[in-house]
Structure 1
Amino acid sequence: MDDELKRTQQGVLLAILAYTMWGVAPIYFKALGDVPPFEILCHRVIWSFIFLAVLLYFTKGWQVVKETLRSKTKVIYLLITSITIGINWLVFIWAVSIDHMLDASLGYYINPLFNVILGMIFLNEKLRKLQWFAVALASIGVIVQLVVFGSVPIIAMVLAFSFGMYGLLRKKVNLDAFTGLFIETLVLLPVALIYLFILADSSTSQLSGNAWSLNTLLISAGIVTTLPLLCFAGAAVRLRLATLGFIQYIGPSLMFLLAVFVYGEAFTPDKIITFACIWAALVVFTWDGLSNNSNNKKLAAAQKKEALDVDITNETLIQDLHQAHNKPNKSK
């Protein structure tokens, strides 16, 4: 029991670290405000690839990479996921650079609800009544912003859709996050190298002409990308999905606080209504998840008790038959 408790505590700590790092990541990208978003993305791909390659060398993980690359199906899936996560990264960096961090926060708040819809469409998962209610609340928030205020949360929708599709496809690949990210950065690497060293023509595109502080930030993109993912991977194998799902709200919540109270983004009426609907939807969604998990636990305990009672009854019956068989015959 102590080992299980320790494992859970480790998982909670790793999950908090992962989502906290994701939540404060805009501070890092704000510090790169002079660098074009696509250029930042290229650095993110290149330095993440190098960082992951070094980690694979020390953890002897190359065999898994080789086996994965031999599977045509997995390679096709990873080609698609590399494009999907590349779009997600680029839109997020762009949103931060143009002071639309609130939209990015909204996108990652919507993501869990969007995942439920994707599961229903592609995995034939059935939605419970409260899940339908949560999705309806979120939809109302988006529709109000669209109809009443005439604005569409495009950034939020693209981030939610791209990250949701990424998660769905990665689930189909059934590959650990570490190996999967390495192959995804490997796919994106040629594009990043060609753009950065041949096509890019900005004031920051030549590393030799940059200040050492800027180059340090650019090289750190590998750590900023990979470290929270490693913490997340460690948490995922130690925690129940319900616990992990609850902790995930740390990320967008930190983005929201940074956007409003640090970087002074306007929390306009359309944003207030949309966020209120999304937050209400997430409360319903989380409550449903906790209730369903509790009911599943009770059902499992009842089934276990029933099976135990059957075993005890069968064992008693066998003993009685055995005693009857071995009882001396007292016939005259």
Structure 2
Amino acid sequence: MPESNHGVALGAGAFLLWGLAALYWPFLSAAEPSEILAHRMVWSLLAMCVFLLIAGRGWAWLPAVVRSPRRFLPIAAAAALISLNWWGFIYSVSISQTLQASLAYFINPLMSVCLGMVFFSERLRTAQWIAVGLGALAVVVMTVAYGSAPWLSLLMASSFAAYGAVKKYVDLDGMRSLTVETLIMFLPALGFVLYLEIGGSGTMFSVSPGHTALLIGGGFVTALPLLLFGMAAQRVPLTIIGILQYIAPTMIFLIGWLVQGEEMPPSRWIGFAIVWSALCVFAFDQIRSARSRSAARRSEQATQQHGATEA
């Protein structure tokens, strides 16, 4: 299989797993979202240790990262943001608000564009402004549809967009960065799990062996798609990744609507239709921009080759 096709398969696999995660967490309904989140943090570190062992990366790089505030603090901020995002997703699917999770990841690219403009002085093209405006309109429509602001969607979208922005300051590859993030989460999460178990309110051993296995498996459900995503990002352009990322919220939407039976009154359909329109504009602009850059590079290479021939 060509490298680019392999990368597309890896990326599609990552987003498919993220979408299917909406079916995984409700199986842990015996536990509170905070307990599920703590176990997710604890067992994610185990998963990353397994992946590092398989990849043969070792641990020699870790002390230098921990001793450097310039390298460690952005990773700590990323860990806090992704923890908030994880909690929002677990909580939304546990209270049958899966459609809010879907909406979050549909509007996340638009929030990322806004953060790029505010914090990285990136200039928005006309189509991007239109997409952001449509996204804002969709949030207003959804606020009317839900009777209040879709705060879970906004929480998940903003935390994940901020996570992506903070990762720009992290000078580690995806696997090592995620390992440090889970390492930062580990001790507080383990302390909370022990507190629940000692206090008798934990569910690790009191429900069933299957429940225990699912809690442990949550770490691998978390880490595996992130690993696949990192491998895909090295093989295909970000434009392709940007298109593939809509697999997950589409699957989450279908799960919430068709599997979990959440209501979709006309006002919600209108809100989602506006979001999808915004994403169509956004995706079209991304593809057009990528093609323009590619054409410009080919033209420049042809000019250089022509100049070298004449010389």
Judge same fold: TM > 0.5, yes or no: yes
1:55 alignment partner, one of 51, 59, 64:
51
Question: Per-residue deviation at 1:71?
Answer: 1.9
Question: Per-residue deviation at 1:27?
Answer: 1.0
Q: Would the aligned equivalents of 1:15 and 1:247 in 2 still touch at CA under 8 Å?
A: yes
Question: Per-residue deviation at 1:127?
Answer: 0.6
Partner of 2:185: 188
RMSD of the TM alignment (CA)? 1.7
Is 1:241 aligned with 2:238? yes
CA, structure 1 residues 193+149, in 2 after alignment: closer, same or farther (shift >3 Å)?
A: closer
State which structure, 1 or 2, has the greater radius of gyration over its C-alpha atoms. Answer: 1
Question: Per-residue deviation at 1:202?
Answer: 8.0
What letter corresponds to residue 14 of structure 1 in structure 2? L
Is 1:89 aligned with 2:86? yes
Is 1:269 aligned with 2:271? no
Taking the aligned partners of 2:308 and 2:243, their CA distance within structure 1 comes to: 38
Partner of 1:138: 135
Partner of 1:282: 279
Taking the aligned partners of 1:273 and 1:61, their CA distance within structure 2 comes to: 51
Question: Per-residue deviation at 1:67?
Answer: 2.7
Question: Per-residue deviation at 1:151?
Answer: 2.1
Partner of 1:13: 9
Q: Would the aligned equivalents of 1:204 and 1:210 in 2 still touch at CA under 8 Å?
A: no
Question: Per-residue deviation at 1:39?
Answer: 0.3
Matches within 5 A, 1:22-101: 22-58=18-54, 59-101=56-98
Q: Would the aligned equivalents of 2:145 and 2:268 in 1 still touch at CA under 8 Å?
A: no
CA, structure 1 residues 257+118, in 2 after alignment: closer, same or farther (shift >3 Å)?
A: same
1:228 alignment partner, one of 225, 228, 241:
225
Aligned length: 310
Uncovered stretches (5+) of structure 2, i.e. residues with no partner: none
Partner of 1:328: none
Q: Would the aligned equivalents of 2:204 and 2:215 in 1 still touch at CA under 8 Å?
A: no
What letter corresponds to residue 176 of structure 1 in structure 2? D
Is 1:176 aligned with 2:179? no
Partner of 1:325: none
Q: Would the aligned equivalents of 1:141 and 1:278 in 2 still touch at CA under 8 Å?
A: yes
**SS where residue 271 of structure 1 aligns?**
helix
CA, structure 1 residues 204+8, in 2 after alignment: closer, same or farther (shift >3 Å)?
A: farther
Question: Per-residue deviation at 1:42?
Answer: 0.8
Q: Would the aligned equivalents of 1:22 and 1:228 in 2 still touch at CA under 8 Å?
A: yes
What letter corresponds to residue 10 of structure 1 in structure 2? H
Question: Per-residue deviation at 1:311?
Answer: 2.0
Give a deviation string over 1:18-46, Cα, whole Å, max 9, x none: 00000010111011111110100111111
Give a deviation string over 1:105-161, Cα, whole Å, max 9, x none: 000000111111111111111111101111111111112333676421111111010
Uncovered stretches (5+) of structure 1, i.e. residues with no partner: 316-332
Is 1:252 aligned with 2:249? yes
**SS where residue 254 of structure 2 aligns?**
helix
Taking the aligned partners of 1:311 and 1:223, their CA distance within structure 2 comes to: 53
Taking the aligned partners of 2:144 and 2:250, their CA distance within structure 1 comes to: 26
Question: Per-residue deviation at 1:274?
Answer: 1.5
